Structure 1
Amino acid sequence: MAQQKMLKFVNVERDMPQKRVPDLRKKDYDEIYQEFAAVKAEEQASRCSQCGVPFCQTHCPLHNNIPDWLRLTAEGRLEEAYEISQATNTFPEICGRICPQDRLCEGNCVIEQSGHGTVTIGSVEKYITDTAWEKGWVKAAKPFAERDESVGIIGAGPAGLAAADMLRRQGVQVTVYDRYDRAGGLLTYGIPGFKLEKDVVMRRNKLLSDGGVEFVLNTNIGVDISFADLRAKHDAILIGTGVYKSRDLGGPGAGNNGIVKAIDYLTASNRLNFGDTVPEIESGELSATGKKVVVIGGGDTAMDCVRTAIRQGAISVKCLYRRDQKNMPGSQRETQNAIEEGVEFVWLSAPKGFTGEGDVSGVVVSKMRLGAPDASGRQSPEEIPGADYTEDADLVIKALGFSPEELPTLWDTPELEVTRWGTVKADFQTHATSMDGVFAAGDIVRGASLVVWAIRDGREAADSILDYLNNASAVAAE
C-alpha cells in the first residue's frame, strides 16, 4: 500500500525555514530566511489537510490553487507544482517572499484554526519557484501568433508588469513606460533587499524583455511624452502608476531638516545597494549612520524603514505608532523581525510636533489610549491630556502611507474621472476608466495596498484589454 503523502499535520509540526541570526543579518541586505531543502519542503507541504473548501485559496487575492501545488510538492512533482503555481500568479517567487501570509492564506489555514499550526505556504511557494528558475522551467513568453495591436502601460510596478506578461503571451505588442531607470516600481525601489533581493526582480524584468515587452524608462508621462500622444500611439492604455504621494505631518517644527519621507529614504538605500552613487546618502541627508532615528507609522513601509536604519548603523531606532501592537496594520512577522534586530516600538504614541532650530532634535510625542471603535471597527486612538514628552531624534522618517498624484492635472486629462480620494475611477471588474480604451489597475485604483492585489488587478485588466481589442477588431472587420 502506498504511503499516505498528505494530512501529516497531526504528526509533523509546523516549521519555517531557518532565519539568519540577527547579529549577522543586520550587517547586510541579504534575505533573512534561508531556503527550504527539498526534504523539508516536501515534509511541510505534506501537512496540508487537503480541505474540501480550502480557505487558504479563498483568502488569496489570486485564488491560487494552493492545496494542489502543496500535494504535488509533497509527492516530489515539483515541475507540475510550478506549472499550477504560475497559472494564477505572474510572480510566485515574489509573493512567496513578501505577501503577508499571516493575514491571507496562512492566517486562514484550517489546521491553524484547529491548533496544529498553519502550513508554511509562502515558504513552499518560494521554494517551488526558486527551484523552477534553477532548473530552467521558467520560460519567456512565446506567443502562438503575433498581433498588430499595441498596448501602452504606464507604470512598471506589479500591476503593469503582470498585465504586460499576460498581454505578451497573447501576442499583443506591449510597451511599458516608467519614470525610474529600472522597472519594478516599489518591488525595485520601495522594498528592501532583506525582504526581496533585487536580482529576483531584475531576473523577472529580463524575462519580460526576452519575451518581447519593450521598456521605455526614465520617462515621465506629461513631461517627456503627453498622455494624448500615448493614446494616439497605442490601441489601448493601462494606467498602473501606483500611489507615490506621501502623506505629510504638520505641527511645530515640521519643516526642520532631518524630517524625511519614507519613499525617499528607501529609494536612496536601494539605489546604493544597486551600486549607484547617491548624493543624499553621501551628504548624510538620507542616511541613518550614527543617528538616533524615529520612524512614524505602523505599516509595512515603517517596518522596512526601521530595519533599513538598523543596517545603516543607527545609534538607536524607535518606531512610534498611535495604536497598540494588536491593532497595527503591518505584518506581525515583520514586527517580530524588527524587534529581534534591535528596534524599539513605542506603542500608543503620536507625534505632535518637532524640536530643534533648523535641524530636528526631537519629536514631541502625545501618549494615546484606545477609545470607541471607528467606522472600520478599529478602536480610535485618543490623546491623554498632559502626557506629552520629547523623544530625541536626529533623523525622523515619515511612514504614514501614500495617496495618489493628481493625474488629470499632471496629464492634462480632465476627462479622466477620479474618486474623492484622488484614485482613478475604474470599473471593479473590467478596470475600464471613463476614457475609451483606457484602463487602470493596482494602487492607483484601490489606494495603497498589497503587491498581490496589484498582480490580480493587472491580470484582470489584461483580460479586459484583450476583450476590448478583439471587439475593436470585430467591428473593423464588419
Structure 2
Amino acid sequence: MAVQKMLKFVTVPRDMPEKRGADERREDFAEIYREFADAKAAEQAGRCSQCGVPYCQSHCPLHNNIPDWLRLTAEGRLREAYEVSQATNTFPEICGRICPQDRLCEGNCVIEQSGHGTVTIGTVEKYINDTAWDEGWVQPIRPGTERPESVGIIGAGPGGLAAADRLRRMGFQVTVYDRHDRAGGLMTYGIPGFKLEKDVVMKRVAQLEDGGVEFVLNCNVGEDLSFDAIRGKHDAVLIATGVYKGRDLTGPGSGAEGIVRALDYLTASNRVGFGDEVEDYLSGELNAQGKRVVVIGGGDTAMDCVRTAIRQGATSVKCLYRRDRANMPGSQREVANAEEEGVEFVWLSAPRGFSGDTVEGVMVQRMRLGAPDATGRQTPELIEGSDYVEDADLVIKALGFEPEDLPKLWGVEGLEVTRWGTVKADFRSHATSLEGVYACGDIQRGASLVVWAIRDGREAADAIAEYIGASAEIAAE
C-alpha cells in the first residue's frame, strides 16, 4: 500500500527550522534560522493540501508553482523541485530568506485559514535551492546562440540582475552599471546578514559574471558616465536604480549630530561585514556600540536597523512607531525576532523634535488611532499634554524611501516621471516615454519588495527582447 505523502496537515503540526537562541544570535550577523534536515523538509512540504485553487501561488508576485515543488519535495524528488522552483524565480534562495511570506504566500495558505497553521513555504524554498547549490544542480549561464544586440542596465539590484539573467540567457550582450563597488543593490548593502548572508548574493553575481554579463561598478550615471552615452552604446536601456532617497524628519533639532539615515547606517554595517574599512563606522557616527539607540519607523527597514543596533552592542534599542502593532507595515515575524533579541517597541508614538546639538533625546508625542483615512487605515491623532523625552545618543530615521530626480540628476530630457517622482512606464511592457528605454522595480513602482523587483525585471527583459526583435525585423526590411 502506497504511503500518503501529502495532505498531512491534520496529523503533522506546522514546524519551523530551529532558531538560534537570542543570546547567541545577538553576538553575530549570521542568519538566525538553521537549515531544515531532509526528512523535516519533506515532512513539512507534505502538509500541503494540494488545493485546486492555490492561493499561495496567486498571492506570490512571481506566481511560483508552490504546490508542485512542495509535492516533489515531499516525494523526495528534490532536483525536480528545484527545476520547478527556478523556472519562475531568478533568485529563489534569496526569496526563501527575505520575502515576507506571512504577508504573501503563507499568509494566504488555505490550511492557515482553516486553523491548522500554514505550510512553511519560505523555509522549504530556501532548503530546496540551498541544496541545489550544494549539489551542483545550478547550471552556469550558457546561451544557445549569441546575439549581437546589447542592453545596458542601470542598477545592479534585484530588478536589474533579474533582467540581466534573463536577457543573457537569450543571448543578448548585457552590461550592468551601478554606483556601488559591489553588485546586488539593497540585497548587498541594505539587508543585514542575519536575514540574508552575503555569500548567497555574491554567488549569483559570480554566476552572472561567469555567464558573460559585464559589470561597470563605481559608476555614477550623470557624473562618471552620461545617460546619453549609455543609451548610444546599447540597443535598449533598462532603468533599475531603485529608490534611495530617505524621507526626512522636521521639527526642532532635526539637524543635530547623531541623527542618521537608515540606509547610511545599514550600508556601513554591511560594508564592515565584508571587511571594508568604513570611516564613519570607526568614528562612531554610524556605530551603535555603547549607545542608547532610537529608531523611528515601523517598516522592514526599521526592523533591520533595530536588530543591527543590538548586534553592534547598543546599551538600549527602542523603536518608535506612530500606530500600533496591528497596523505596522513591517513583518510581524521580524517584530517577534527583534523583541526576543531585546528591542523595546514604543507604539503610538512619534517624534516632535530633538534635544542637544549632538542629539541627547527625542521629544516624543503620544498618539491614538482615530477615524479611518481614505485607505481604511485609522489615522494617528495627537494626545495633547502627553509629551515626554526619550533619552538617545543615536537616532536612526527609517521612514521609507523616495525616488531621486533622475531627469535632473542625469540631465536627460523627455524622460517622464509621475507626480511621486517615479519613472513613468507601462506596467506590462515597462516601456518609458523614451524610445528603447525601459524601467522596472522600485524606480517604477515606488519602494516595494525584492520579489516584485524580480518580477518586474523578468517582464522588462521579455519586453526588451521583443522590442529588439521587432527593431531587427524592421531594419532587415
> Normalization by structure 1: what TM-score?
1.00
Matches of 1:227 and 1:196 in 2, distance apart? 32
Residues 238-285 of structure 1, C-alpha deviations (whole Å, 9 max, x = no match): 000000000000100011100000000000000000000011011000
Report the CA distance between 1:414 and its aligned residue. Answer: 2.6
CA separation in 2, counterparts of 1:47 and 1:80? 19
Give the structure 2 partner of residue 445 of structure 1.
444
The CA deviation at 1:74 is 0.2
- Which amino acid in structure 1 is aligned with residue 63 of structure 2? H
Q: Secondary structure at the match of 2:228?
A: helix
CA displacement 1:374-431 (0-9 Å, x = unmatched) = 1111111001111100000000000000000000001111310000000000000000
CA distance, structure 2, for counterparts of residue 291 and residue 225 of structure 1: 41
1:170 equivalenced with 2:184 (yes/no): no
In structure 2, what is the equivalent of residue 406 of structure 1? 405
Distance across 1 between alignment mates of 2:212 and 2:86: 19
Q: Secondary structure in 1 aligned to 2:455?
A: helix
Amino acid at match of 1:158: P
State the secondary structure of the residue aligned to 2:456: helix
SS in 1 for 2:72: helix
Matched, 1:355 2:355: yes
CA offset digits 1:181-240 (Å, max 9, x no partner):
000000000000000000000011001111111100000000001000111000000000
Partner of 2:338: 338
The aligned counterpart of 1:213 is 213
SS of the residue 2:424 aligns to: coil
Partner of 1:377: 376
Matches within 5 A, 1:292-441: 292-356=292-356, 358-441=357-440
Secondary structure of the equivalent of 2:125? Answer: helix
Q: Which residue of the partner structure matches residue 73 of structure 2?
A: 73
Distance 2:409 2:298 in 1: 30
Residue 5 (structure 1) aligns with? 5
**Is residue 2:470 matched to residue 1:471?**
yes
Q: Matches of residues 69-148 of structure 1 in structure 2 within 5 Å? A: 69-148=69-148
CA shift, 1:327, in A, is: 0.1
Q: Secondary structure at the match of 1:363?
A: strand
Rounded to whole Å, the distance in 1 between the matches of 2:438 and 2:375 is 29
TM-score, normalization: structure 2? 1.00
The ranges of structure 1 where at least 4 consecutive aligned residues each deviate by more than 4 angstroms after the TM superposition are none
In structure 2, what is the Cα distance between the partners aligned to 1:205 and 1:229? 25
Query: What is the alpha-carbon distance in structure 1 between the residues aligned to residue 9 and residue 309 of structure 2?
Result: 39
Mapped partners of 2:238, 2:472: distance in 1 = 19
The Cα offsets for residues 427-457 of structure 1, whole Å up to 9 and x where unpaired, read as: 0000000000000000001100000000000
Map 1:115-264 to 2 at 5 A.
115-264=115-264
* C-alpha displacement of 1:109: 0.2
- Give, in whole Å, the separation in 2 of the partners of 1:202 and 1:387: 49
CA offsets, 1:122-180, max 9 Å, x none? 00000000000000011121111000000000000000000000000000000000000
Structure 2: which amino acid aligns with 1:461? A
Give the corresponding residue for 2:53. 53
Quick one: which amino acid aligns to residue 469 of structure 2? Answer: N
Aligned letter for 2:73? T
- How do 1:23-42 residues align onto structure 2 when only pairs under 5 Å count? 23-42=23-42
Give the AA of the match of 2:313.
G
How many residue pairs match? The answer is 477
Unaligned runs of 5+ residues in structure 1 are: none
Letter paired with 1:428? F
CA distance in 2: counterparts of 1:469 and 1:83, whole angstroms: 29
Task: State the superposition RMSD in angstroms.
Answer: 0.4
* Paired residue secondary structure (1:365): strand
Deviating more after overlay: 133-142 vs 343-352: 133-142
Offset at residue 6 of structure 1 (A): 0.3
Question: Partners in 2 of 1:377 and 1:267 — Cα distance?
Answer: 35
- Secondary structure (helix, strand or coil) at the match of 1:202 reads helix
The residue type equivalent to 2:248 in the other structure is D
- 1:257-296 aligned at under 5 Å gives the runs 257-296=257-296
Report deviation, 1:2. Answer: 1.2
SS of 1:182's partner is: coil
Residue type of the partner of 1:441? C
1:349-386 Cα shifts (integer Å, max 9, x gaps): 00000001x20000000000001111111111001111
- Could you tell me how far apart the structure 2 residues matched to 1:213 and 1:349 are? 47
Please state whether the residue corresponding to 1:290 is helix, strand or coil: coil
| Distance (Å, rounded) in 2 between the aligned partners of 1:414 and 1:145 | 36
In structure 2, what is the Cα distance between the partners aligned to 1:140 and 1:445? Answer: 30
> C-alpha distance in 1, partners of 2:102/2:288?
30
Letter in 1 for 2:465: L
Output the CA distance in 1 between the equivalents of 2:217 and 2:373.
Answer: 43
Task: Name the SS for the 1:176 alignment partner.
Answer: strand
Residue 397 of structure 1 aligns to a residue in which SS?
strand
Among the aligned pairs, what percent are the same residue? 76
Which piece of structure 1 moves more, 369-378 or 237-246?
369-378
